[in-house]
Chain A
Amino acid sequence: GTRIIYDRKFLMECRHSP
């Protein structure tokens, strides 16, 4: 099956999104 993967860079960019 598919797996939803987020790398560190993306996760950190989301930290202060609205």
Chain B
Amino acid sequence: KEILIVQPYMKHPLQNRWTLWFYKNDKNKPWQANLRLVTKFDTVEDFWALYNHIQLASRLMSGCDYAVFKDGIEPMWEDNRNKCGGRWLITLSKQQRMLELDQYWLETLLCLIGEAFDDYSNDICGAVINVRAKGDKIAIWTCDTENEEAVLHIGKTYKERLGLPMKVVIGYQAHADTATKSGLGVKNKFVV
């Protein structure tokens, strides 16, 4: 009699549980009502099952966002873990939507779930992608603008992981500044 030994397939656990949020711009409702918690995941396999299933960012309607945040952190400035923090912001041209948007967003997610920032990964809150007609944006949110060492390490590592050329400069903006920005645009607290 042949004995079949079935190797139980063990999922690979992530350091953190993450939540995927989706925001669809419906002007008739307050913005909080447009924000939906889609699902949570905490293994590599569940991440891929989700990512391979949902619509690519480049195919979302203008005005939509995806956000992936650590479980318990809401993708908004007001959240306790975000209000003293800021974001490394990648602004893309319209042409980049078809070429690089999906690639940059996936790389951002792999940085998050893979804990790519060593011990500074503790400062990571999440990431947001805004699909907009005037130019898409991707950002990684961190929890403390004053933790310069963490912010700069995260920015440098992120820029490398995205494969951005040295001459391309990315900026880190405090949410408090973004929230109160006048028309002039937001000043960068750090750049790499």
Contacts and interface: CB of A to CB of B under 8 A. Distances in A.
How many A residues are at the interface, by size bracket?
10 to 19
A11 B51 CA distance: 12
B12 A15 contact: no
Interface residues of B, number: 19
B25 interface: no
Q: Is the interface of A mostly helix, strand, loop or mixed?
A: loop
B92 interface: no
A8 B106 CA distance: 10
B15 A5 contact: yes
Contact of B114 (A7, A15, A17): A7
A11 B114 contact: yes
Contact of B119 (A3, A7, A11, A18): A3
B14 interface: yes
Contacts of B45: 14, 17
Contacts of A5: 15, 114-116, 118
Interface of B: 9, 12-15, 44-45, 48, 52, 107, 110, 113-116, 118-119, 121, 161
Given A3-B121, A4-B14, A4-B115, 18 more contacts: A3-B118, A4-B15, A5-B15, A5-B115, A5-B116, A6-B14, A6-B115, A7-B114, A8-B110, A8-B161, A11-B44, A11-B110, A12-B110, A14-B12, A14-B44, A14-B48, A15-B52, A17-B45
Interface of A: 3-8, 11-12, 14-18
